[in-house]
Chain A
Amino acid sequence: MFQITDIPRLLPEILLLVLALLVLGSDIFEKWGRTPEAQLERVRSSASLTAIGLGLVFVIALLQSAYVPGTRAPQGPVGNAVLDWLLTILRNLQSGGPGGEPVTGAFATDHLTMIARLTFIGAAFIASLLCLDYRPSAHPAEFYALILFSTLGMCLMAGATEFIMAYLAVELTSIPLYILAGYFRNDARSSEAGMKYFLFGAMSSGILLYGMSLAYGYAASALAGNVTANDLTQFGRVAQLASDAGAGSTLLTLGMVFVIAGVGYKVAAVPFHGWAPDVYQGAPTPITAFISTASKAAGFILLLRLLTTAFPALSGGASLADLGGWTSLVAFLALLTVVVGNLAALPQTNAKRLLAWSSVAHAGFVLLALVAWAAPQPFDRDQGAAALLYYLVVYTLTNLGAFGALAAINLIVGGDEIADLNGLARRNLGLATLFTLCILSLAGIPPLAGFFAKFYVFMAAWQGGARWLVVVAVITTLISLYYYLRLLRAMFIAPPPSETPLPAPPAIMAAVVVAVVPLIVVGLFPNLILGVISRVQTVAGM
């Protein structure tokens, strides 16, 4: 049953919805002149409203989570009237913090959801900063509102504990992104990206829905007649019926395979990656940054929750000796993804496309973490969940920074071929350094955060028994280093076409700095976020 006290638990989502409507509505009151100045004015106001709003929502969510040490509201009044009033608000806010049963059995507000929300809202914040200097062609408010609606969808995806909810959240996430990818209507590549993304996305939704219906069908037939029950689409219920039945069922397994395939499209795992390079390359760069990070992370978090709560009975093993179950399937997908993603990135001459393929490859590394479920010890499984989340958070920051830097380069140089990067270090050392740090973090070079993320994922998969997979993944990391170094070569070694300095737009630079600074800090002190992430294990019902 939905209760009025559940409202604070949904506060971040509610705020996102309100903000999205506000942004959409605010544009009406702007001056609708045809001059470029008036256009710019409209862009600026929508953009700043979005960025400030997202920043506020992020802070509120952070306060609600009480993850930052010292923000947990103390019990009892402190005497000062104003302070007490504020403390009461904080206490009420935190009463809706992580914990409790899922709202109406469909939406969990546990630590996993909370961390996911923070990641998505943070990513949307950085992405909206990146858009500040990027002028959307027609109606700016729609552009930003779509980002917000998509973010809302992602938050719902992370918390969904029920098939219909999960499906609706996936759609709410994807449909705005289809539009955003094709936002530059006059640009053939952008239109192509939007169209391609939409077609692939629609198909994958169908596959996902089919898998879900099979799982529902299994649950309904397991009860043999008692189909009046209305909780058969809940993840936990399906898992419970499966474990009651004992032996695995073909129907459920088939449903699971379809679900993995459907989400596999969303996260662009090989062989479901066909759309990714073209969409990433064609979409406006800030949107690429958003799609390749937040949307992918949302997919993985949904996958984690689905597989571990709906299909725990089918987890199977990942070592060559005992194949079967979803860990084997995931291990196989991971193998394909790291190999194909990294090899395909090698011959690219376009920096954006190169990073697109590298994003595909990174999906493979995230999948490695899921393989940890093949380990017999609960401790190792928990490590898998922590490794997955850590990787997602770090990867989100890194890729936002990398695509953000590329967006800045695109704006000031006018292209995103690798040759356009030539000699950037002589013309804008700051930007080149930031981009380099992102690239090195993607390549997994210490002391940047990407190194430990990769290492942790390797540890998780190793303990899951997929040793050969880890060996292959380590080799592909080495391959990836070659193409990452090519970007470095272009920026630092290749001669510049001219020596004139290229100042970058401040908003983009600020966004990239916001993404890069945590890479160094978290790289040096991984426990800053690992401490929070490790809380996921105890709550998520795994």
Chain B
Amino acid sequence: MGLFTLPTTIPWLSLIWLSTVVPAAIIALTPRRHAEAMRWTGAIFALLSLVLSLLVWLAYDPIRGGFQFIERLEWMPQLGISYLLGVDGISLPMLVLNGVVIFTGALMSWNIEERVKEYWVLLLLLTTGVYGVFVALDLFLFFVFYELAVLPMYLLIGVWGSTRKEYGAMKLTLFLMAGSALAIIGMLGLYFGSGLRTFDMIVLSRSVTLAGDLQRIFFLPMFAGFAVLAGMFPFHTWSPTGHVAAPTAVSMLHAGVLMKLGAYGCIRAAMWLMPVGANLWLPIIAVLTIFNVVYGATIAMAQRDAKFIIGYSSVSHMGLVLMGLAAATQLAMTGAVLQMFAHGIMTALFFAVVGRMIYERTHTRQLPELGGLRKVMPFAAWMFILGGLSSMGMPGLAGFWAEFTIFLGVWERYPLIAVIAAISIPVTGAYILRAVWATFDGEVKNPEFFKLPALTWQERTGAIILAVILVVVGIYPAILTELISTGVEPVVAQLTGVVVAGR
């Protein structure tokens, strides 16, 4: 039983994604001069979507498990395309994560003064796409939402970004669209190869009718297509450039949620639906993720721009997620999904501090030019340190449990890879401490810093929400892990079942 039951007559999941479309429409129709009203509309509806996600989360019954809150409508029945929504233990934490990040992101967007209307409309459309992906159970619908989540990013970064924004925006969009092109090929192979002529993922997964040979062929484009968005080596280069160029809320959403969307796609569309193919390719992918984890961390060490440090640390942490997925044990995958959540929150906090609190005030993110900011904005310093500790895997914070579980799981399957990847732990500690030290410690380098405006209530609220979640999950990870484990179980069973049956 969930904590309470929600009336089943109401399409809760549709309401979640609609609750970000509606304000987009309202804002589009609001006259340009009411900028403040637009911000409030956006933020309130973002909060509403968060509340709805939380309601669904609390009402989800983890004992029964499986997909719940299923909604099904015919869309194009002659082609086996339906509007099919549902959530399980993997998508629920992602829903809540998206809710948290968009709400705090909305709070951090208060200072956008230029073309407010377009900004909010695009931001909310982007969120709609992300919500949609996490609730869609029809592969076609999944893909529609996926592309909807990618495209607004181009304009968001291109118009409101900084530091080589046009280059970053174009690179990001083309990489992600290349990923989706790969995924289309995987989808077509799956659709026609399985002979079922349906995009219904529940049906496709229940009896995997795609021949083993075809699975081995089409797993790769499908997995790689989504792994591009998850920032997998060697397709990760768009990610730091894009993160750095993006405005704060977009970086938060992007590193916080969108990259998870890639990992989610890898689980849902690739591993779940093509287990035979997965068993062939996952060991190779596991080796590649070493590069993500270790190389990403090492590059982060060498950066001077604080946002680049976070960007590369995202690559490294998402590498851990993919490594957990590649190990494909119950423990590793639970850890991977938990890491998706923990990293989402933590990265959002990082970008909020660096992008919004520091950069918007000092107009620099170069470590050598910063320094001593703890004296000027102690709140920002503590938030950054908290996020940093979680990133390093400090016990008592969400990141610890996630990384610990992933390493345990990977050790079960590929001990050597676990050992090599563990090099990243001290490196991560080093670059985080370096960033903290260079930004916040020591004397105030620039006397101008004393004149910086104080933090606004929106910034504080947003950061506190994120920090509290990090601590709560850190103290009591079971609120997520039990749920995640029920969601991961069928996928793992699918993969190991295949090994046993020797298909």
Which residues does A use to contact B, with CB under 8 Å? 425-426, 429, 440, 445-447, 451, 455-456, 458-459, 462-463, 470-471, 474-475, 477-478, 481-482, 485, 488-489, 492-493, 526-527, 530, 534
Contacts and interface: CB of A to CB of B under 8 A. Distances in A.
B480 interface: no
B360 interface: no
Contacts of B188: 458-459, 462, 470
A445 B145 CA distance: 10
A445 B144 CA distance: 8
B10 interface: no
Contacts of A456: 79
B173 A485 contact: yes
A381 to B, nearest CB: 14
Contact of B144 (A451, A477, A482, A527): A451
A462 B147 contact: no
B269 interface: no
Contacts of B305: none
Given A446-B144, A470-B185, A471-B185, A485 B76 contact: no
Sort A-B residue pairs by CB-CB distance and give the 9 closest, nearest first.
A446-B144, A493-B158, A474-B181, A462-B188, A446-B147, A478-B181, A481-B177, A492-B155, A445-B151
Contacts of B140: 455
Given A445-B151, A446-B143, A485-B173, A459 B166 contact: no
A50 to B, nearest CB: 34
Interface of B: 75-76, 78-79, 115, 118, 140, 143-145, 147-148, 151, 154-155, 158-159, 165-166, 169-170, 173-174, 177-178, 181, 184-185, 188, 191-192
A240 to B, nearest CB: 31
A482 B151 contact: no
Contacts, number: 72
A485 B185 contact: no
Contacts of B158: 488-489, 492-493
B181 A482 contact: no
Contacts of B184: 455, 458, 474
Contact of B147 (A451, A463, A527): A451
B178 A478 contact: yes
Given A445-B147, A482-B170, A475 B181 contact: yes
Contact of A440 (B143, B151, B178): B151
A489 B148 contact: no
Q: Is the interface of A mostly helix, strand, loop or mixed?
A: helix
A482 B192 CA distance: 30
A307 B158 CA distance: 47
Contact of B154 (A455, A485, A534): A485
B166 A481 contact: no
30 contacts: A440-B151, A445-B151, A446-B144, A446-B145, A451-B144, A451-B147, A459-B79, A459-B191, A470-B185, A470-B188, A474-B185, A475-B181, A477-B181, A478-B181, A481-B174, A482-B170, A485-B154, A485-B170, A485-B173, A488-B155, A489-B166, A492-B158, A493-B158, A493-B159, A493-B165, A493-B166, A526-B75, A527-B75, A527-B76, A530-B78
A451 B188 CA distance: 15
Contacts of A470: 185, 188
Contacts of A478: 174, 177-178, 181
Q: Which of A425, A456, A477, A492 has the most CB of B within 10 A?
A: A492
Nearest to A471: B185
Nearest to A426: B115
A451 B177 CA distance: 13
A135 B416 CA distance: 75
Contacts of B178: 478
Contact of B118 (A425, A440, A463, A477): A425
A169 B181 CA distance: 40
Contacts of B170: 482, 485, 489
Nearest to A436: B155
A485 B151 CA distance: 10
A236 B76 CA distance: 33
A538 to B, nearest CB: 13
A526 B147 CA distance: 17
A440 B122 CA distance: 14
Contacts of A489: 158, 166, 170
Given A462-B188, A482-B174, A493-B155, 16 more contacts: A425-B115, A425-B118, A445-B148, A446-B144, A456-B79, A458-B188, A459-B188, A470-B188, A471-B185, A475-B181, A478-B178, A485-B170, A485-B173, A488-B155, A489-B166, A492-B158
A264 B191 CA distance: 32
Contact of B173 (A451, A458, A462, A481): A481
B181 A447 contact: no
Contacts of A471: 185
A446 B148 contact: yes
Contacts of B144: 446-447, 451
A475 B177 CA distance: 10
Contacts of B192: 459, 462-463
B76 A526 contact: yes
A481 B169 CA distance: 13
Contacts of A463: 192
Contacts of A534: 78
B76 A530 contact: yes
Nearest to B122: A492
Contacts of B75: 526-527
Contacts of B118: 425, 429, 492
